[in-house]
Amino acid sequence: MLKALFPNGAKKAFTLSYDDGCYDDIRLMELMSSLNIKGTFNISSELYRPDGTEPEGYWPRMTRAETENYKRPGVEVALHGVTHRDFTKITGPELVYEIMADKHNLENMFSTVIRGAAYPYGTFDDRSVETLRQSGIKYCRTVWSDYSLNMPSDWLRLRPTAHHADPKLPELVDKFLTETPRDLRMMYIWGHTPEFRRDKNWGLIEDILSKVSGREDIWFATNIEICEYDLAAKSLEYSADGRFVYNPTAVKVLLERRPDDAVAVEPGALIEL
Ligand SMILES: [Zn+2]
């Protein structure tokens, strides 16, 4: 079995995940666009700031009209519970509604199929994981940092690397940038953009993003792009002697034959290695 590389031949992926559909997401998305960095925004699609009000106060969300701002390249929209209720503290039908109503609203707003999520309050249990799985959701992010750059072992209980203001993050960013990994690595930073407003620390994320941006040894992708690529790489089927490999997925997977020698396994292709 050969090790996978990311689509650009890199072994490192970088992504962001920001919650609640807040007004300050616009500033973060503009920063991301200017640096070619991609990421995911998790939205509760029944919670908007009223039309005609200013984005002021502690936690300003977007108005419904302002959510048009999420329609830009490099941005994935994911569900976050339609009214942001704790998935572990509601009845089964309420849980189904929180997931499916949000999925349905966002799909209609953004003309897409929503396949990603973040747990409201970060809380989850086996029932919520199973309900998400049955709803066609491929990954769901918790808020429990794992301080690791390893690829996730369970995408429906996804643990981020760290919150943007975590004091351990700068060291992890340096490690991510300097190490030469044998296996795939992912740096996954999460938060809420009103925290930058509240804590007056936009410089923190500006520094991190400018530090990582523009590097050819990193794949910049949304959450679902990394998730789908990882799931596809893990779905490859090998012959008993490892000579042939079959890709049953819709995602092209790049494999490392030797250092500086990669082979692409196209969707549906069977190739000899
Ligand atoms: Zn939230």
Is the CB of residue 32 less than 8 Å from the CB of residue 237? no
To the nearest 10°, the Cα dihedral for 22, 196, 26, 23? 30
Domain 14-221, what fold?
TIM Barrel (3.20.20)
Confidence (pLDDT) at 58: 86
Q: Residue 25 C-alpha to ligand 1 middle, in angstroms? A: 13
Q: Residue 84 C-alpha to ligand 1 middle, in angstroms? A: 6
pLDDT, one tens digit per residue, over 119-135 is 999 999 999 999 999 99
pLDDT, one tens digit per residue, over 58-106 is 899 999 999 999 999 999 999 999 999 999 999 999 999 999 999 999 9
Taking 90 as the threshold, does the pLDDT of residue 259 lie above it? no
Is the model's pTM score more than 0.85?
yes
Percentage with pLDDT > 70 across the chain: 100
pLDDT, one tens digit per residue, over 162-177 is 999 999 999 999 999 9
Q: 16 by DSSP, 3-state: which?
A: strand
Residues 191-216, mean pLDDT to the nearest whole number: 96
Separation between Cα atoms, residue 87 and residue 91, nearest integer Å? 9
Q: Which residues surround ligand 1, an ion (CB under 5 A)?
A: 19-20, 120
Work out the number of other CB atoms within 10 angstroms of the CB of residue 81.
28
pLDDT band at 149 (very low <50, low <70, confident <90, very high): very high
Is the CB of residue 117 less than 8 Å from the CB of residue 44? no
Confidence (pLDDT) at 57: 86
Confidence (pLDDT) at 260: 84
Residues 242-264, mean pLDDT to the nearest whole number: 95
Q: Residue 121 C-alpha to ligand 1 middle, in angstroms? A: 6
Residues 206-223, mean pLDDT to the nearest whole number: 97
Confidence (pLDDT) at 258: 87
The CATH 3.20.20.370 domain(s) of the chain lie at 14-221
Say if residue 236 is exposed, middle or buried (CB neighbours under 10 Å; 0-12, 13-18, 19+): middle
Residue entry with tokens 């996730």? 152
